[in-house]
Amino acid sequence: MNIRALLAGAALALSGCGAAEPPEAPPLAGARIGGPFALTGEDGRTVTDRDLAGKWRVMYFGYTFCPDICPTDAQNIAAGLKRFEAEDAARAAKITPVFVTIDPARDTPDVLARFTDAFHPRMLGLTGSAEAIGQIAKAYAVYYAKGEASPGGGYLMDHSRQSYLMDPQGRPVALIPQDKGADAVAAELERWVR
């Protein structure tokens, strides 16, 4: 074999090394979802969007008194994150799961802490004034409304059911399919978190 053929073969082989396909554009790239906020964390201190800068976040909106959907979704998000942690601990450590209440009248910092601690040690519960919750819900395109009071004085909250993966700059990346179970959550985290 002559040197010219050997060099041509090597050049052809090396041309494929750096020719990876460009990354797929995130499905929510450019969407007007998210924005600045100032809420109350589980320890009673103010938490802002700037406190989460540099971290990937899974943003979920629900309430702790929810009889079925919110605990199931929180469980699926947490279990999916735990599966991702088992596969790639370094990337998973960059993710903060965030549970924002849509029922601030009942979801105090203490209530949120007990709720989130039951699912994942890094899950952060956020509450605030009715006005602050209304502002963040609007920024994240989340619908919610207080339901009719029962004879005992309790009530349910009606709300949309989506969770967002936000990048370290606070930009929306993708919807997290928490309604499809832990494997689907883990797969979506694997797909986007860098």
pLDDT 10s digits, 81-93: 999 999 999 999 9
Check the annotation: does 70 bind a ligand.
yes
**pLDDT band per the 50, 70, 90 thresholds, residue 152:** confident
Tell me if 66 is assigned to a ligand binding site: yes
Answering whether pTM is above 0.85, one says yes
26-62 as b/e: b if 16+ CB within 10 A: bebeeeebbeebbbbbbeeeebebeebeebbbbbbbb
Segment holding 139, helix H or strand E:
helix 130-139
pLDDT in tens, 138-148: 999 999 999 99
Say if residue 120 carries a ligand binding annotation: no
Domains and CATH numbers, the chain: 32-146+155-192 (3.40.30.10)
